[in-house]
Structure formats: structure tokens, C-alpha cells
């Protein structure tokens, strides 16, 4: 009798993938959002560049942010190296410039290619970045393809941070209702580094 109970308890630890439970988590996380928000966010309606998605992101800021972050976390979990799981708190759509210059970010610098890949969901938002007149040297953040595995001061890529909001909005507009990233993708720059002299 007890063992059945514990088996069920044990199994239920994996049942976080059950839609109803996720929906409840989403609901509980955003008490300030309107009632319909969790359901719509859960159904993937926050993603993409169509007007209804953009309106939903304004009407349901918390639920949509959670939907975006849950999605990118899934991607970083799938394609990021296991020994860098401590970097997952940085794998977000709403990361701030301040968080990007934190000690954790410093320790996780090698994971930048993974974050960039997952932000883009493996897709390419270069056209959008061009339309917004974001400098060409920053387009690697849009295309999810890095030009080099080592950046230094001369690349002036820290200035790309000024455009991160716009770049992230390009990616949000480019996302499909369901994730498209390649589960078997691995960073071609496992030891990516950024030298600030």
C-alpha cells in the first residue's frame, strides 16, 4: 500500500509536464494578470509578430514573460552543456544589462553562444535587425550565428547591449507558436570568451 503511494508520489515529481499543472503554475505566478492570460500564454499565443500576439504581450505582461522564459529555459536545458546548469538563471528573455555584467554572467561567459541561439529559437531575425538599423557588427545576436569564438574590445560588441531590447523584440516577433530549435544543436564555441582589456 505504502509503496504504491510512494510510487505515485515519485511519478508525480515528473508530472510537471502535465499541461493542467503547468497552467496552474502559470496562473499562480501572475496574480496581477487578467484571468484569461494564463490560458492564452499557455497555448503559445504570446509568441510571434502578429497583432494579437503583440496585444497579448501588452495585456498579459507577466504571463507572457513567463511563457517566453519557460520556452528559452527549455532550449538552454536541451542544448547547453550539463556542467553549466548553474548558468540557467541567465537564460531569460528579460535579462537586464545589470544581470549581464554580474559575477554569474562572468562565470557563464562561455554560455553566451547558447543564450544567443536559444533567444533566436535557432531562427534568423537579421532582416528585422536591419530594418531597425542595428549596426551590422551586432547582427550575430540576430542570426544566432557567431562570427568568432573570441571577442575582444575591438569588436565593440559591448555596445550591442544598447540594442538588446530591440534585438530581443525582433526574436519575439519571429517566434513560432511551437519551438523550432534543433535539439541536437551544440555550440561550436564551447570555450567562447570575451576579453575586456
Ligand X SMILES: *[C@@H]1O[C@H](CO)[C@@H](O)[C@H](O)[C@H]1NC(C)=O
Gap between the Cα atoms of 151 and 173, Å rounded: 28
Q: Which of 81, 152, 190, 195 binds ligand X (CB under 6 A)?
A: 190
Q: Which is nearer to ligand X, 92 or 129 (CB)?
A: 92
Which range, of 13-21, 37-45, 91-99, 173-181, touches ligand X by CB under 6 A? 91-99
Q: Which is nearer to ligand X, 124 or 169 (CB)?
A: 169
Gap between the Cα atoms of 109 and 100, Å rounded: 9
Q: Using the rule CB under 6 A, is 7 a contact of ligand X?
A: no
Contacts of 182 (CB under 8 A, 6+ apart): 79, 122
Per the DSSP assignment, residues forming a β-bridge with 193 are 150
Of 137, 125, 121, whose CA–CA distance to 178 is shortest? 121
Gap between the Cα atoms of 38 and 178, Å rounded: 17
CB of 66 to ligand X, least distance (A): 4
Q: Which is nearer to ligand X, 94 or 148 (CB)?
A: 94
Which range, of 1-9, 46-54, 89-97, 159-167, touches ligand X by CB under 6 A? 89-97
Q: Using the rule CB under 6 A, is 187 a contact of ligand X?
A: no
Joined grid coordinates for residue 33: 494578470
String marking each residue 55-74 x if it binds ligand X according to CB under 6 A: ----------xx--x-----
Amino acid at each position: 500500500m505504502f509503496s504504491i503511494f510512494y510510487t505515485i508520489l515519485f511519478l508525480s515529481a515528473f508530472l510537471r509536464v502535465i499541461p493542467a499543472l503547468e497552467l496552474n503554475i502559470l496562473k499562480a505566478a501572475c496574480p496581477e494578470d487578467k484571468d484569461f492570460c494564463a490560458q492564452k500564454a499557455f497555448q503559445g499565443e504570446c509568441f510571434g509578430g502578429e497583432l494579437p500576439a503583440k496585444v497579448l504581450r501588452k495585456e498579459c505582461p507577466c504571463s507572457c514573460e513567463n511563457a517566453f522564459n519557460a520556452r528559452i529555459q527549455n532550449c538552454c536545458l536541451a542544448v547547453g552543456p550539463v556542467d553549466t546548469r548553474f548558468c540557467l538563471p541567465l537564460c531569460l528573455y528579460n535579462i537586464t544589462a545589470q544581470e549581464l555584467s554580474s559575477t554569474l554572467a562572468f562565470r557563464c561567459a562561455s554560455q553566451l553562444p547558447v543564450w544567443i541561439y536559444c533567444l533566436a529559437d535557432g531562427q534568423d531575425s537579421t532582416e528585422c535587425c536591419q530594418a531597425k538599423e542595428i549596426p551590422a557588427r551586432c547582427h550575430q545576436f540576430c542570426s544566432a550565428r557567431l562570427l568568432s569564438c573570441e571577442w575582444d574590445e575591438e569588436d565593440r560588441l559591448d555596445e550591442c547591449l544598447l540594442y538588446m531590447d530591440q534585438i530581443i523584440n525582433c526574436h519575439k516577433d519571429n517566434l513560432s507558436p511551437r519551438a523550432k530549435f534543433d535539439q541536437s544543436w551544440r555550440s561550436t564555441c564551447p570555450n567562447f570568451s570575451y576579453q575586456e582589456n
